Amino acid sequence: MADARIFPLLEVSRAELDRLVVGGIASVELLDGGLTNTLHRVTLAAGGSVVVKHCAGGVQPYADELATLTKLAGILPVPEVVRSDADRHVIVYRWIDGVTLHECRKHEPPAAFASLADPLGRLFAWIARTEPLDPADRWTVAPLLAHARVQLADSRARQRMGAPLADALLRVYAGSDERLGWGRQCLSHGDMGGRNILVQRADGDRWRIGGVIDWEAASTGSPLVDIGSLFRYSARYDDTFVAEFERGYRESDGMLPRDWCRLARQLDALRMIDTLDEVRELPGVFADCRMLLAKLVADLGGA
């Protein structure tokens, strides 16, 4: 059974969509917006499609996503904003053809997924060179680690994952502050997983990056933050994929530390620990977090 949405789907009338898109509507399709937003694909009578995104998290996620899309237009493959509505927290952007990286992995031949390793490395290197939205904003790992250690010692997170796993994670993070704090300050997408990266067929089994969507959680981070999101489900990526990702990243002048993938996964795990401390009951999400955290500990030799 799927977990309940964080924010309920909004009732959006045809008249509201007519007002937002301009030019006449041929059809409307409700899209999967995860557990948060309400999204519609609107096919225009004159041809082409747009996405109408009602940002459920309020003014700040809406403003952050709009500012990020504006900043990155023409620099990175992000949706082209057609219109925005600050009162309703709505962004209208042009539809990007393709499928998600997640769908490509599940439904296309293995060679198709493998062909994306190098382009993904190059994409992430480009993002790592992008300055944060607020140059004064600073990311440091120390408070994140301190908070995680408190949660692992005594919290809902410890109860939900169990003492053995919590204690193993405390050992994982013992004395790791300096290594996990590696990297320059850069723009961080905040949820750079397989559902937010759109890919397109280039030719045969070769695929390319089509776009990156859902920038509402954009903030300041280190390059390892988004890399950790990508490799959260580490079993989906074999050694060859990881090596090709690294090659593309470095060939695009990206800098990476030794053991970058392990460090990125450790950083990403801090988010899962925080998720397990949620007040809301999200049993499906919690089960996934426990599985991924146990896999991390196992990959690190049981800590």
pLDDT for the residue 35: 72
pLDDT for the residue 57: 82
pLDDT for the residue 189: 95
Token readout for 272 is 């899962």
Give the chain's domains with CATH numbers: 14-94 (3.30.200.20), 99-299 (3.90.1200.10)
- Cα separation, 167 vs 303, whole angstroms: 9
Beta bridge partners of 201: 207
- Cα separation, 23 vs 20, whole angstroms: 10
pTM: 0.93
User: Burial code of 281-302, b = ≥16 C-beta within 10 A, e = fewer?
Assistant: ebeebbebbbebbbbbbeeeee
pLDDT for the residue 33: 66
pLDDT for the residue 162: 98
Pairing outcome for strands 49-54 and 219-221: unpaired
pLDDT for the residue 1: 41
Residue 77: HSE in the Cβ half-sphere, 13 Å Cα cutoff: 19
Residue closest to 127 by CA, chosen among 253, 279, 10: 253
- Cα separation, 163 vs 220, whole angstroms: 32
Token readout for 57 is 């998290």
- Cα separation, 96 vs 49, whole angstroms: 9
pLDDT for the residue 56: 85
Token readout for 92 is 């209208």
Chain center to CA of 225 = 10
For 129, which DSSP code?
T
Residues with pLDDT less than 70, the chain: 1-5, 33-34, 302-303
pLDDT for the residue 135: 85
89-142 pLDDT, tens per residue? 999 999 999 999 999 999 999 999 999 999 999 999 999 999 998 889 999 999
Q: How far apart are the first and last CA of the chain?
A: 33
